[in-house]
Amino acid sequence: MTAHTLRRSALVLVVLGTAACHNRAATAPQGASVTTARVEKRTVPYEITATGTVEPLQTVAVISQVGGVLSKVAFKEGDDVKAGQLLMQIDPRPYQAALDQALGVQQRDQAQLANAEADLKRYEALVAKDYVPAQQYEAAKTTAAADRATLAADRAAVETAHLNLQFATIRAPISGRAGAVLVKEGNLVKAGGQTLVTINQIRPISVRFSVPAVHLPLLRKYGSTALPVNVLPSGVTSASVPTKGTLSFVDNAVDTLTGTILLKGKFENQDAALWPGEFVTVDVALYNQPDALVIPTPAIVQGQQGSFVFVVKPDNTAETRPVVVGRVAGDLTIIDRGLAEGEVVVTDGQIRLTNGARVQVKSEGSSESAAPAKE
């Protein structure tokens, strides 16, 4: 065999060897692709979450105190009105006439009383000198007393007529948002009849909600301070900015039928973000738990023996680790036992893993972006 033939044979062997190495590398297992996050210590608020209903602090159904024809509506439906603002006007002419008549009667009876008191003084001097019988003096005394009583009744009649004239002008009893006008101009309004308009106070406004009675000890412990309450309209994402308020009321008894206790939060609502009758999600922050071990909630796997996670070891293999879960809410879970700070857990791709399986980390997340823990 010539030298040239030997060189060609060696070159072929090198090429075949290189191809074999490439084939082995291509067929070597790369591990399951997973997403991970580190176990971190954070200060986590302890929050109670519930569903609540927005309700006005005050609701007034405006009803006329006098009857008559509605001559004017001085506001538009849905307007914000101030306390004392003119809302409606009932034709005041009958009530002005009644007031004038009552004033006339009062003036007449006042003149009669003045005359009766003058007669009483004259008879008092005469009876002292025995110029007139005592019976005439007593009669004059009775007449003066009757005229005084009549004048007192006249004053009451004048005051009543004056009030009726005032009631013909209907003003807003509270500040708030006016609803639909239920009686139009020109209609006859009856005293104490139907509601003319309803006014709801929306600044500030209240949110009522109920929580399980198991939270009562914590509410009693931390409720002495103005606990912060945050609300979001139902269906709105948690990324939206919540409306902030404070806890204003804790009921004095637990509802025995539902096992819950009623609470209320008060909100300034200057931007009118909350609307009466609206359903909202309520979060009550009771206290902050320091140095809590947290991981994203998707890292938790439920098995026959309880909760566990896959921990990624330094050699890129997965290890199943049972854990004791403290509190879970949204994207964050507090771990009471089973993990240490800094360990890496799998948050996505667990379905392809077994204990000891190799993994390939495609991305590593963080618990910082997770939502605060709630109850």
DSSP string of 88-157, one letter each residue: EEE--HHHHHHHHHHHHHHHHHHHHHHHHHHHHHHHHHHHHTTSS-HHHHHHHHHHHHHHHHHHHHHHHH
Q: Are 256 and 299 in contact, with CB atoms under 8 Å apart? A: no
Whether 298 and 338 map to the same domain: the answer is yes
Q: Is residue 270 part of a domain?
A: yes
Does residue 17 lie within any of the structural domains?
Answer: no
Same domain flag for 175 and 219: no
Do residues 372 and 46 lie in contact, with contact meaning Cβ atoms separated by under 8 Å? no
CA distance linking residue 243 with residue 273, whole number of Å: 8
Note whether 80 and 176 are within 8 A (CB).
yes
pLDDT at 29 over 70: no
- The stretch 364-371 carries a mean pLDDT of 56
Q: C-alpha 324: how far from its chain's center?
A: 35
Q: Tell me what pLDDT residue 10 has.
A: 42
* pLDDT tops 90 at residue 235: no
CA–CA gap between residue 32 and residue 184 (Å, rounded): 73
pLDDT of residue 8: 53
Q: What is the CATH number of the domain that holds 329?
A: 2.40.420.20
Same domain for 38 and 72, yes or no, is no
Is 71 among the domain residues? yes
Q: Which long-range contacts (CB under 8 A, 24 or more apart) does 151-154 make?
A: 151/106, 151/109, 151/110, 151/113, 154/102, 154/105, 154/106, 154/109, 154/110
Residue 2 scores a pLDDT above 60:
no
284 shares a domain with 205: yes
Domain final residue, candidates 167, 187, 218: 167
Distance CA 104, CA 354 (A): 103
Chosen domain end from 263, 289, 315: 289
DSSP 3-state assignment of 7?
helix
Question: In this predicted structure, what is the pLDDT of residue 92?
Answer: 97
Q: What is the pLDDT of residues 312-330, one digit of tens each?
A: 999 999 999 999 999 876 6
For residue 127, how many other CB atoms are within 10 A of its CB?
A: 17
**DSSP state for residue 191 in the 8-state scheme:** T
pLDDT in tens, 121-146: 887 888 777 777 888 878 888 999 99
| Residue at 172 is within a domain | yes
Q: What is the mean pLDDT of residues 274-299?
A: 92
Contact 36, 295 (CB under 8 A): no
Given a contact cutoff of 8 angstroms between Cβ atoms, the answer to whether 227 and 244 are in contact is: no
Phi first, then psi, for residue 78 (nearest 5°) are: 85, 0
Residue 99 lies in a domain: yes
Q: How far apart are the first and last CA of the chain?
A: 85
195 in the same domain as 75? yes
**For residue 152, is it within any domain?**
yes
pLDDT at residue 21 tops 70? no
Give the per-residue pLDDT at 300.
Answer: 94
- The CATH number of the domain holding residue 173 is 2.40.50.100
For residue 118, the one-letter residue type is A
Number of folded domains in the chain?
A: 4
The whole-model pTM stands at 0.71
CATH classification at residue 155: 1.10.287.470
The H or E element containing residue 26 is: helix 3-27
pLDDT of residue 369: 47
pLDDT band at 159 (very low <50, low <70, confident <90, very high): very high
Joined together, the tokens standing for residue 164 give: 């009726």
pLDDT exceeds 50 at position 42:
yes
For residue range 184-219, list pLDDT tens digits in order: 999 999 999 999 999 999 999 999 999 999 999 999
pLDDT of 375 > 60? The answer is no
Report the SS3 class of residue 23.
helix
Q: What CATH number is given to the structural domain containing 283?
A: 2.40.30.170
Higher pLDDT, 106 or 365: 106
Report if residue 18 sits inside a domain: no
Output the pLDDT for position 226. Answer: 84
Give the per-residue pLDDT at 238.
58
pLDDT of residue 215: 92
Q: Which amino acid is at 115?
A: N
DSSP letter, residue 28: S
Check: CB of residue 51 under 8 Å from CB of residue 234.
yes
For position 368, what pLDDT does the model report?
53
Closest-CA residue to 197 (of 277, 279, 85): 85
Q: Residue 176 — very low, low, confident or very high, per pLDDT cuts 50/70/90?
A: very high
The answer to whether position 24 is within a domain reads no
pLDDT at 301: 94
- Digit-coded pLDDT (tens) for 335-348: 999 999 999 999 99
What's the rounded Cα separation, in Å, for the pair 129 and 122? 11
CB atoms within 10 A of CB 131: 10
pLDDT of residue 329: 62
Residues 42 and 156 in one domain: no
Considering the chain, what is the average pLDDT of its residues?
Answer: 87
pLDDT at 14: 42
Q: Is the pLDDT of residue 261 over 70?
A: yes
In the prediction, which pLDDT does 13 show?
A: 40
* Residues 278 and 338 placed together within one structural domain of the fold: no
Quote the radius of gyration of the chain (alpha carbons, Å).
43
Does residue 295 share a domain with residue 249? no
**Do 275 and 303 share a domain, yes or no?**
no
69 and 193 assigned to the same domain: yes
Report d(CA 157, CA 280) in Å as an integer.
53
Question: Are 333 and 209 part of one and the same domain?
Answer: no
Note whether 75 and 85 are within 8 A (CB). Answer: yes
Residue with tokens 């914590």: 218
- Judgement on whether residues 218 and 244 belong to the same structural domain of the protein: yes
Q: Give me the domain span that covers residue 355.
A: 32-47+291-369
Is residue 19 very low, low, confident or very high in pLDDT (cuts 50, 70, 90)?
Answer: very low
pLDDT at 373 over 70: no
- Answer whether the bond into residue 204 is a cis peptide, omega within 30°: yes
